[in-house]
Amino acid sequence: MIGFADNNPSKHGSRCKNRPVYPPWKIPDLDFDRVFIASSYYQEIYRQLVDDIGIPAGRISLSCTDDASRPRLWSGIQQRIGRQYFGMVLGTRYLGMARLGLALARRIIGTFGSVRLVPVHWIDERTGHVVETLQPAEKGYVYGPKYIGRRQERALVEVPAIVLSRYRSATITCISNAVLCGGELSMWRTSTSTNRHANYASGYVFKYGRRHALVEDFHTSGTEKIERGIAITGSVDVNYYHWLLEVVSKLAYLERMGGDDYTGYPILISEKAREFGAVSAFLELANGGRDVFFLRSNGYYEVDDLLTITPPNSLITTFSGRTCHEIRDCYFSSESLQFLRRTGLNWMYRQQVRPVRREKVFLARKGTVRPYNQQEVRALLEADGFEAVYLEDLSFAEQVAVMQQARVIVGPTGAAWTNLLFCRPGTRALCWMAEEYGDLSCFSHIAVEMQVQMEYILYRTGATSSQELFFSPYVVDTDEIERWLVSGR
């Protein structure tokens, strides 16, 4: 092994396991055979290596399973002292007992590095920091995928209230909804789900149990100070779907914050917002006249006076162990979806996009992730009058225009389907998705809300984990696609 690569500038030039730590952009200068990704942020790292740095996809391997994808600290703890013992440490009600257990573990395996143990609770169960309800809880349905030839399933859920909370001297990061305040961790979850394999650890949260969590020790890593602000953040900052549904949707509720008390609070948001034309558009149209402060993706910030808005829409993105999605693993606020739609269409009209008539659209992909028989599919569709469109090559306004003008849309599952938000009612859509995803319902629900007639084709990959599924190549049955096309003529 030549060495390690890390995005954290403070680690560049240091050594780990007696090997150098490089900045990722130095990898092409090294004499290497293969890059191994050993992180739970494998999706973000993969895209950075391929799209930003230019490393061929064939020279990248995923070296972690669901268990190994957890932080190395947690994997080492489990290997040395046992999963059952440490589960007791994180699950005990008494912080003193948990700290004693941590101290014993420290004696067994040595230092834990820059982590500490803190009490943890779910935000939807504690109201101590809540200052205002911006939208009350309401019952509603989540609509699962409509598989061809089958009835569309749905689940009745209680969409949680959207609340404004206020924290004093709180620590945040822009890649987590968690807040560390007063030595206690507040975490957000998809409360409609009963999936016990859901994993909400992200940002500075390494691992959590029923009562306690392991978090970064900021006395070691350091934080940046901010006087005050409104955190417009989410669990990730590199995925288009999560940007719009989980993060940007919070902007709809800025105007509901009571009186003039919070007028001067700036928006705190990831610096990666500037890389997404859609996010920049929403910040311009819906910032409420507030200043915007951009946070570093790998930075930790201590905010003297922090405001947070709970996610209007939520989807479980990470699971521990072999599992798949259930319909209840996501929820949506219809009001926030309409906000996203109105604002996107408004941006398109403001940009005066020159219309290009595309009634039949094939959502093509560049092929860096989940390669499949795209050329065969494309030939079939083009013979039927479809035009292949690479949405990532278009501006946000152009993407909205494509979806607004299309009457039929076909393509593989992925973040591009977030743009269903901008389709006309009555549009037909066909998506193919891995059977191993289960009832992943984020796009099927948006389709129902936007009155799009969306159906699904399934294929198998043989993947046994969400990480493996992200990369697995596959073959979609073109005969099924052709039958769907004929049925709509």
d(CA 318, CA 290): 33
The C-alpha atoms of residue 477 and residue 458 are separated, in whole angstroms, by 9
Q: Are residues 27 and 118 in the same domain?
A: no
Residue 393 CB contacts under 8 Å (≥ 6 apart), including other chains: none
- CA–CA distance from 336 to each of 50, 125, 148, 452 (Å)? 33, 23, 29, 18
pLDDT of residue 117: 87
Are 398 and 298 contained in the same domain? no
**Tokens representing residue 16 in the block:** 């780990």
Quote the domain boundaries for residue 369.
353-487
- In this structure, the chain runs to a length of 489
* 186 & 43 share domain: no
For residue 11, what are the CA distances in angstroms to 6, 76, 153, 218, 287? 7, 21, 49, 16, 35
Question: Which residues have CB under 8 Å from 179's CB, separation 6+?
Answer: 165, 167, 170, 171, 172, 185, 186, 231, 306, 308
CA distances from 23 to 12, 34, 340 (A): 6, 16, 37
Q: Is the dihedral of CA 121, 127, 129, 130 positive or negative?
A: positive
Provide the number of structural domains found in the chain: 3
Place of tokens 């399973």: 65
SS3 annotation, the chain? CCCEECCCHHHCCCEECCEEEECHHHHHHCCCCCEEECCCCHHHHHHHHHHHCCCCHHHEEECCCCCCCCCHHHHHHHHHHCHHHHHHHHHCCCHHHHHHHHHHHHHHHCCCCCEEEEEEEEHHHCCCCEEEEEECCEEEEEECCCECCCCCCEEEEEECCEEEEEEEEEEECCCCCCEEECCEEEECCCCCCCCCCECCCCCCEEEECCCEEEEECHHHHCCEEEEEEEECCCCCCCCHHHHHHHHHHHHHHHHHCCCCCCCCCCEEEEHHHHHCHHHHHHHHHHCCCCCEEEECCCCCEEEEEEEEECCCCEECCCECCCCCECHHHEECCHHHHHHHHHHHHHHHHHHCCCCCCCCEEEECCCCCCCCCCHHHHHHHHHCCCCEEECHHHCCHHHHHHHHHHCCEEEEECCHHHHHHHHCCCCCEEEEEEEHHHECCCHHHHHHHHCCCEEEEEEECCCCCCHHHHHHCCCCCCHHHHHHHHHHCC
Residues 183 and 305 in one domain: yes
pLDDT at 63: 60
Residue 140 burial (10 A CB sphere; 0-12, 13-18, 19+): middle
State residue 94's pLDDT score.
52
Q: Please report where in the chains the tokens 């040595």 appear, as a residue.
A: 110
The pLDDT, as a whole number, for residue 221 is 60
For residues 211 and 282, membership in a common domain is answered with: yes
Residue 11 inside a domain? The answer is yes
CA separation for the pair 167, 230 (Å, rounded): 11
Domain boundary residue, one of 315, 345, 361: 315
Report pLDDT for 126: 82
Asked if 308 and 378 sit in the same domain, the reply is no
Residue 15 sits in a domain whose CATH number is 3.40.50.720
Residue 476 lies inside a defined structural domain of this protein: yes
Whether residue 125 is contained in a domain is answered as: yes
Which one of 255, 290, 315 terminates a domain? 315
Same domain, 120 and 199: yes
Assess whether 125 and 252 both reside in one domain.
yes
Whether 385 and 345 have beta carbons less than 8 Å apart is answered as: no
Residue 375 has which token pair?
């050329």
**Whether the Cβ atoms of residue 293 and residue 224 lie closer than 8 Å to each other:** no
In the chain, the amino acid numbered 318 is T
Residue 358 lies inside a defined structural domain of this protein: yes
Chosen domain end from 296, 315, 334:
315
Token reading at 480: 């099924």
State the pTM of this model.
0.84
Same domain, residue pair 297 and 372? no
CATH number, residue 395: 3.40.50
Tell me the Ramachandran region of residue 370: left when phi exceeds 0, alpha when psi lies from -120 to 50, beta otherwise.
left
Tell me: do 127 and 260 sit in the same domain: yes
What average pLDDT values come out for the chain (489 residues) when binned by 10 residues? 82 84 87 81 75 79 49 46 46 53 48 73 89 95 97 97 96 92 93 89 86 79 89 91 96 86 92 94 94 91 96 90 84 97 96 86 84 95 96 95 96 96 97 94 98 97 79 92 92
Contact criterion met (CB below 8 Å) for 223 and 300: yes
323 in a domain, yes or no? no
CA distance 305 to 265: 9
89 found inside a domain: no
Per-residue confidence (pLDDT) for residue 129, from 0 to 100: 93
Domain-embedded: residue 92: no
Compute the Cα dihedral for 398, 297, 257, 200 and give only its sign. Answer: positive
Same domain, 374 and 308: no
Instruction: Say whether both 359 and 282 belong to one domain.
Output: no
Q: What per-residue confidence (pLDDT) applies to 95?
A: 53
Does any domain span residue 169? yes
d(CA 327, CA 443) in angstroms, rounded, equals 11
In this structure, what are the phi and psi dihedrals at residue 44, rounded to the nearest 5 degrees? -65, -40
What b/e readout covers 8-27, taking b as 16+ CB neighbours within 10 angstroms? eeebeeeeeeeeebbebeeb
| Residue 323: predicted pLDDT | 65
CA 310 to centroid of chain Cα atoms: 15
- 138 forms beta bridges with 159
Whole-number Å distance between alpha carbons of 310 and 132: 11
